[in-house]
Every structure is written in structure tokens, then in C-alpha cells.
Amino acid sequence: MNNISDVYDIEKAISLAGGNRKLAIELITMLIAQLPVQKFEITESINNDDMVSLKQHIHKLYGSCQCCATPALMNITRELENIIENNLVNKFESAKTELLIEIDRVVRLDTTIL
């Protein structure tokens, strides 16, 4: 996924914000500001093999993605949450890697072009 709309769907975000473009941009800006902390918490949970905490962090991130219209990040958080819930150990590593990549893609989003 190399398209900006995979990272952030501005039209959907505006719709989710009740047609308020300024609010949509404020929400994505807030998410971007929170993502480094969320990435740290997720990584710490993984490093500590704390799947309960990891699932909580992933679930919280998924909700934020839904509100902010970040499709690729939303999809991988949903997938990773499912992997954790169903103990699909063989799929965990690749999903975790994809999650961290997608977090970084959103963090790099230039909100000035929106």
C-alpha cells in the first residue's frame, strides 16, 4: 500500500466528523501525536509477553483508527486483535511487523497537505 488514501481517507474522516474538515484534521493530528506512545506500549506488551495488555492496547488503537479513517492501520489492528483472541501464534509475528510499519506510516503523514 503506497497510496495516501490507504494511510488516511480524508473524505471518510470528514464524514465521520459530521462534515467538519477542521475537526477531522484535528482528530488525525491527535492520533499522530499519540501513536509513538501507543507504539511503545504495544512493543512493551509484546516484549513482556503480556497478551492481555497487548489486546487492550490494540483494541484502543483500533477504535482510534475507526474514528480517524486510517484504513490500513485499522485493518491490521483488527487482524491482530483477531490473531490474539484466537491464539493464532503462527500469524502473530508477521501481523505485529505490519502493525508497526502501519503505525510509522501514519506518524509520517503530512497533515499540512490535507
pLDDT at 1 > cutoff 50: no
Kindly report the pTM of this predicted structure: 0.93
Query: Each residue of 33-61: b (16+ CB within 10 Å) or e?
Result: eebeebbebbeebbeeeeeeebbebbeeb
Higher pLDDT, 38 or 6: 38
Residue 107 main-chain phi, psi, to 5 deg? -60, -35
8 Å CB contact between 38 and 57: yes
Higher pLDDT, 3 or 68: 68
8 Å CB contact between 32 and 106: yes
pLDDT of the residue at 67: 94
pLDDT tens figures, 40-88:
999 999 999 999 999 999 999 999 999 999 999 999 999 999 999 999 9
Domains defined for the chain, CATH in brackets? 4-109 (1.20.120.160)
pLDDT tens figures, 14-39:
999 999 999 999 999 999 999 999 99
- Taking the C-alpha atoms of residue 111 and residue 95, their distance in angstroms, rounded to an integer, is 26
8 Å CB contact between 35 and 106: yes
Residue type at 58? Answer: I
